[in-house]
């Protein structure tokens, strides 16, 4: 009797082991594009979504509260490790005084964790607001998030860039770099995005769009 029970138990365990081995992994979230070329950002006329962000000080803040009836220029960039992002951040420093004169606040959002934001802050003497979207919650709502392929991750590692280290997680997602001009009511009045990470919004065009949206 005992031998029969043991034999049945072993067979059951083997069957479970085989099932676990061949069972498919949980599917990825199909709502997130697999390439930068597939993203579909929010458009002019859309309302800005809500979402949790983290400040340089590590405090949680609601995006909608940051807007709080203020006209805003919202920039999404990849991270402080990206040379093209650093170039853009320097350009934003130059136009920020003009934006401020028009009453705009400038918010720059990336996947960098707060500690990495602090490093970026000193690179260009940045006085505008840097925010972390490690969870990609807001970035996804803006329609900018896409998954980073294993091949790209490998190339990044070859260059000494660890996405896991900069974000503090293993989501392996990035935003397509983008710029939005948002009015006092939270309505998007201007959008610029480009899957080519080397091409960013022209600062003069951004200033013009901000002026026209007033």
Mean pLDDT of 68-96: 95
Q: Are 74 and 107 in contact (CB under 8 A)?
A: yes
State residue 90's pLDDT score: 93
In the predicted model, is pLDDT for residue 13 greater than 80?
Answer: no
Give the domain ranges of the chain. 32-213
3-state secondary structure of 115: helix
The residue ranges of DSSP E strands in 56-141, in sequence order, are 60-62, 72-76, 105-110, 129-132
Which pLDDT value is given to residue 5?
39
Q: Which pLDDT band, with edges at 50, 70 and 90, does 214 fall under?
A: confident
* C-beta separation of 207 from 192 below 8 A: no
The whole model's pTM is what?
Answer: 0.84
With a cut of 70, say whether residue 20 has pLDDT above it: no
Measure the CA–CA gap between 182 and 106, rounded to whole angstroms.
Answer: 10
- For residues 126 and 122, give the distance between their C-alpha atoms in angstroms, rounded to a whole number: 7
Which range has the worst mean pLDDT, 27-31, 104-108, 124-128, 153-157?
27-31
Most confident of 2-6, 66-70, 204-208: 204-208
Beta-strand pair 145-147/129-132: unpaired
Binning pLDDT at 50, 70 and 90, where does residue 54 land? very high
The pLDDT mean for the chain works out to 87
CATH 3.40.30.10 fits 32-213, yes or no: yes
């Amino acid at each position: 009797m005992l031998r029969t029970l043991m034999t049945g138990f072993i067979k059951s365990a083997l069957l479970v082991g085989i099932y676990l081995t061949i069972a498919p992994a949980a599917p990825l979230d199909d709502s997130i594009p697999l390439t930068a070329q597939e993203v579909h950002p929010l458009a002019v006329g859309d309302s800005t979504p809500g979402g949790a962000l983290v400040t340089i000080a590590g405090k949680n803040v609601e995006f909608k509260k940051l807007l709080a009836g203020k006209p805003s220029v919202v920039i999404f960039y990849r991270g402080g490790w990206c040379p093209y992002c650093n170039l853009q951040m320097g350009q934003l420093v130059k136009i920020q005084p003009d934006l401020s004169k028009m009453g705009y606040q400038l918010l720059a959002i990336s996947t960098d964790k707060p500690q990495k934001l602090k490093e970026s802050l000193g690179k260009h003497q940045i006085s505008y607001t840097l925010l972390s979207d490690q969870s990609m919650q807001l970035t996804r709502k803006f329609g900018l998030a896409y998954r980073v392929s294993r091949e790209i991750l490998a190339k990044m590692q070859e260059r000494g860039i660890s996405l896991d280290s900069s974000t503090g997680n293993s989501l392996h997602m990035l935003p397509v770099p983008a710029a939005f001009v948002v009015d006092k009511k939270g309505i998007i009045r201007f959008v610029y995005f480009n899957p080519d990470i080397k091409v960013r919004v022209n600062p003069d065009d951004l200033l013009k769009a901000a002026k026209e949206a007033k």
